[in-house]
Amino acid sequence: MDKKKITEHRKLYERMLFDDVIPFWMKYSPDRQHGGYLHMLDRDGTPYSTDKFAWPHAREVWFFSTLCDEVEKRQEWIDMAKLGWDFIMKHFFDSEGRVYYSFTREGTPLSIPRRIFSETFVIIAGVRYARVTGDHKAAETARTLYRKVVDWAKTPIAGSQKAIHGSRPMIAQGIPMIMLNVTREMMLLDGETPELMAYSDGCIDTILNRHLHPERRLLFENVAPDGSLMTDYPEGRFLIPGHALEAAWFIMVEGMARGNRTLIERACELTLWELQFGWDKEYGGITYFMDSEGEPALALESDMKLWWCHNEALLALLHALLLNGGEEFEQWYDRVHDYTFGLFPDPEYGEWIGYYHRDGRVALRVKGSNWKGCFHLPRHLLFGWKLLSKMESGGF
């Protein structure tokens, strides 16, 4: 990218992050009455439900703590993080230390722990919160939970948790992908210990050598435990391009940290493959769910365009541009950028509308839900802004 364009994009990210997205969540999500966040927010920021869900809640704590960690320890951001972390410590855990899935506004648990994803988001929240506040209990909470999650993650849980164990064994890409990110966050707390590095290596190996099939140029969400394709079954044909692109930049981060050029190259290759396969040639945008063999994708939301897939795609492309460069990545970056920034931002009320039909009509107008919260978009803008700033100052 030429310098002028880099600066232009850096400024766009900066404006959107600091003048739009952060103010939106700071204005509408604090629950001053009961603590924690309201995150079921309508287009204009009004809550349409006061229930609280572990995923978006913990992720918002992660975001405001990370903002302090990566930008500056601004008091209002620390206060935001504290509001959420205190709610976690007060209400999130059952008697065995697992994390409930959802809560009333007051903090009464509404649904049982499902593990392991709720827990992983509490870990990264705890790590960053401990780093910026020095809260030892947050650090210990993250460490304890990390050990549990590593243990739970040993059981393959591809597909439904209602599957009969052993009836059709598969492993799910979501586990090594999220654990790769969580382990990198743990290293911010405890350093690149041999244990953490070995675990991280295992995650990368599972993603690149079992889920990724170079002969197909695709990353399969569910494969047999030995990595064999299971394409006779719908779940074995299941693809989430946005998920694969998220894994791609997690692996590029590891490549950078390890100085491992091969990792970076493989993740760059994966990025291109997923964009080539997942891009909607008719309407543009990254398709949510796909079937690797072109058989019907059964989930009714399959052909939709979701904000987060585009955040992850742009982060993968920005990493690839910084670490690798090249015309092909820049062309893809322009294409995804134009589509994304043309469709999702809400000029009227700020932040992004997250859910569009295939053809670009709004499907769900909300800013926050049990899934959408203060996470993919602000993370993309924050990390993207930092990557663009690095490029602007001439790389590393």
Beta bridge partner(s), residue 352: 345
| By CB under 8 A, residue 104 contacts a copy of itself | yes
Q: Which of 315, 311, 217, 228 is nearest to 270 (CA)?
A: 217
Q: How far is CA 117 from CA 111, 145, 181, 235, in A?
A: 14, 11, 12, 20
| By CB under 8 A, residue 14 contacts a copy of itself | no
**What are the structure tokens assigned to 47, written together?**
């809550």
Rounded Cα gap, residues 112 and 100, in angstroms: 5
Residue 163 or 257: the one with the smaller Cβ distance to a copy of itself is 163
Shortest spacing between CB 187 and a copy of itself, in angstroms: 33
Sites for a copy of itself among residues 229-248 (CB under 8 A)? 232-234
Which one among 61, 304, 336, 374 touches a copy of itself, defined by CB under 8 A? 304
Shortest spacing between CB 71 and a copy of itself, in angstroms: 32
Task: Please give the size of the binding site for a copy of itself, defined by CB under 8 A.
Answer: 44
DSSP 323-388: HT--HHHHHHHHHHHHHHHHHSB-TTTSSB--EE-TTS-EEE--S--SS--SSHHHHHHHHHHHHH
| By CB under 8 A, residue 295 contacts a copy of itself | yes
Rounded Cα gap, residues 169 and 230, in angstroms: 10
Residue 3 or 233: the one with the smaller Cβ distance to a copy of itself is 233
Backbone angles phi, psi at 219, to 5 degrees: -105, 120
Residue 108 or 155: the one with the smaller Cβ distance to a copy of itself is 108
Residue 98 or 337: the one with the smaller Cβ distance to a copy of itself is 98
Backbone angles phi, psi at 356, to 5 degrees: -120, 150
| By CB under 8 A, residue 369 contacts a copy of itself | yes
Helix, strand, or coil (residue 84): helix
Which one among 191, 194, 259, 296 touches a copy of itself, defined by CB under 8 A? 296
Q: Under a CB-based contact definition with an 8 Å cutoff, are residues 381 and 12 in contact?
A: no
393 alpha carbon, distance to own chain's centre: 27
Q: Under a CB-based contact definition with an 8 Å cutoff, are residues 246 and 278 in contact?
A: no
Stretch that binds a copy of itself, among 69-77, 125-133, 160-168, 325-333 (CB under 8 A): 160-168
Residues ≥6 apart with Cβ < 8 Å to 77: 64, 67, 68
Rounded Cα gap, residues 123 and 246, in angstroms: 19
Which one among 111, 228, 262, 276 touches a copy of itself, defined by CB under 8 A? 111
| By CB under 8 A, residue 163 contacts a copy of itself | yes
Residue 131 or 372: the one with the smaller Cβ distance to a copy of itself is 372
| By CB under 8 A, residue 261 contacts a copy of itself | no
| By CB under 8 A, residue 365 contacts a copy of itself | yes
Residue 56 or 126: the one with the smaller Cβ distance to a copy of itself is 56
| By CB under 8 A, residue 51 contacts a copy of itself | yes
| By CB under 8 A, residue 34 contacts a copy of itself | no
Shortest spacing between CB 140 and a copy of itself, in angstroms: 27
Rounded Cα gap, residues 277 and 275, in angstroms: 5
Q: What is the DSSP letter of 227?
A: S
The binding track of 64-93 with respect to a copy of itself, each residue x by CB under 8 A or -, is ------------------------------
Q: Which residues bind a copy of itself (CB under 8 A)?
A: 40, 42, 48-51, 100-101, 104, 108-112, 114, 160, 162-164, 167-168, 232-234, 295-298, 300-304, 355, 357-359, 361, 363-366, 369-370
